[in-house]
Amino acid sequence: MVFTPSPMLLKLLYTRGSLHNLPQNGGVAFSIKNRLDTVRLTGFKQVQIGDVVIPAEQVQIDLGNGERRAATAINDGAQAIELPVGRSLLFLLDTPVLAEGIHSVQVWFSTDAFGDLHVEVEDAIVSAVNHKPRIPRSGDDDYSEAAIAARQRFAEQFSGKEFSHLKHYSFDAHQLQGNCEHFMGVAQIPVGLAGPLTVHGEHAQGDFLIPMATTEGTLVASYNRGMQLLNLCGGVKCTVIGDAMQRAPVFVFSDARGARDFGKWVEDHLDQIRPQAESTSSVAKLQYIDTYLSNKFAYLRFNFSTGDAAGQNMVGRATFAACSWILEQYKDHPIEHFYLESNFATDKKASQINVMRTRGKRVVAEAVIKRDILQQRMRVTPEQLAYHGQVSNVGAFISGANNNGAHSANGITALFIATGQDVANVSESSAGILYSEVTKEGDLYISITIPSLIVATHGGGTGLATQNECLQMLGCVGRGTVRKFAEIVAGVVLAGELSLGAAISSSDWVSSHEQYGRNR
């Protein structure tokens, strides 16, 4: 099942800025990129630039890798062009070169899924020339040894330095397609081991050796100390209590009433919107849509489950499909503007809405730390740590922080780098809500909630060589392992909170860094 793109979204097929004159008066070219859904280009009618019509007989299509096809050949049916999402086609027009300035561009073509399409945009011819040296690329195979070596030589010549470590790696560079562009080498990050950590989760059960990639002295040692404490008290209990990934488009109306009525319409039509969103993926499932109104804007927060993937790209495509259907179906008030992302999903940014409503996995780690073990191992009492937590809460409050965790970003970042996660997601994932109390038996109950932990065990960088080995170490490779990984991450975070909190309370913090964290 594919969605029908609205005229507003059809404009996105054209790559703005791609209009240019070919060398030696060889004509004009522009690019179209499939940003909608996988289709086949089955017909081509014409292009019009300004008042000049260029029929299919004067158009060739550059498919890449040196292959070109006459536009008229597509109309025969036998030479339809496969156009998966993300693929670009360069259209070469046999027409006089264009003057500098803005030009209207119209393209008429057909696909098997969408039928006849008409794209109309404006683009410009500019004379600006980039005189900077360009990074070498290969159109045939940009991950070949020759292409990589060319970039290595370029970097050495440009910087005037010779690199003896960056250039050496132990995997087939072709595995990096979709993960890294212009590849020339690797940054080797030390990986230390902490644990094993005993986890009592619903998905992670047992002892786990924790790989932590970091260059910060004392980090691995501190987390290892916290894990030993948890183990001596029976381990850490971890629970995933929420799971949702978002994309948040915005629809703009002429006034607030239009936005209000639209929000109600979306609520009433959720059952029709859901199959449109889910048509783009066998994994993404639309759970619900939150509507937030302000001024004349309607912000829709689409919430999906995404299987073992983190899912930002997956839900972007699914939301795009749903919104295209909405743009076609909603007729009560004119929609003046539409943007697929409104900054309301707060991708790669910490936010209060994600603390409140969940982004990624919402997971809790908790433990009861025995009084005698805490005093023996950490040289603090439960009362000291609990009181220290109250004082820290005041500090977090007056600073304007939206969470009160001590340093969850440390453990999360080290695990993210080791296991191939999108490290920028630490900005959201590191929010931690810490709570502690002294039990009636005189022990310390402590727990941390991570409300927006964005993790994956499939896709992204999780399949790369060393990253996948670290996931294998944790037993988090294969279908249905993402919640297991989330529980392990939460347990690691709690170990770090215990260790740092006790170090500060007992005044061991500075001395520990001086002992383990100095390399000068």
Q: What single-letter DSSP state applies at residue 272? A: H
Catalytic-residue membership of 513: yes
Half-sphere exposure of 304 (CA within 13 A, CB side): 34
Q: Is 259 helix (H, G, I), strand (E, B) or coil?
A: helix
In the prediction, which pLDDT does 285 show?
A: 95
pLDDT higher than 70, residue 476: yes
Token pair, residue 90, equals 């360069």
Which of 8-12, 55-59, 332-336, 428-432 shows the lowest per-residue confidence on average (mean pLDDT)? 8-12
Distance CA 484, CA 119 (A): 46
DSSP code for 293: E
d(Cα 153, Cα 161) in Å, to the nearest integer? 10
Q: Is 216 a catalytic residue?
A: yes
pLDDT of residue 361: 96
Q: Which amino acid is at 203?
A: H
For 259-304, the pLDDT digits (tens) are: 999 999 999 999 999 999 998 889 999 999 999 999 999 999 999 9
Beta pairing partners, 435: 447
Closest CA to 402 of 447, 434, 424: 434
Q: What's the confidence (pLDDT) of residue 24?
A: 87
- Among candidate residues 315, 326, 254, 276, the one with its CA nearest the CA of residue 6: 326
Task: Name which of 493, 486, 489, 508 is nearest 241 in CA terms.
Answer: 486
The residue from 422, 428, 443, 497 that is catalytic is 422
The stretches of 288-345 forming alpha helices (DSSP H) are 312-329
Give the pLDDT score at 4. Answer: 57
Q: If you search the block for the tokens 């007992």, which residue do you land on?
A: 506
pLDDT at position 510, please?
Answer: 44
Residue 478 is encoded by which pair of tokens? 């294969």
Choice among 94, 120, 156, 216 that is catalytic: 216
Tell whether the model's pLDDT for residue 65 goes beyond 80.
no
Give the distance, in angstroms, between the CA of residue 426 and the centroid of all CA atoms in the same chain.
11
Identity of the residue numbered 275: P
User: Given this model, what pLDDT does residue 5 score?
Assistant: 61
Q: What is the pLDDT of residue 1?
A: 44
Q: What is the mean pLDDT of residues 505-511?
A: 59
What is the reported pLDDT for 452?
A: 95
Please return the burial class of 68, using the count of CB atoms within 10 Å of its CB with bins 0-12, 13-18 and 19+.
exposed
Any catalytic annotation for residue 422?
yes
Structure-token match 């932990």, residue found:
453
C-alpha distance across the termini of the chain, in Å:
61
Tell the residue number behind the tokens 């810490």, with chain if given.
434
pTM of the model: 0.85
**pLDDT for the residue 204:** 97
Catalytic residue, chosen from 20, 200, 407, 513, is 513
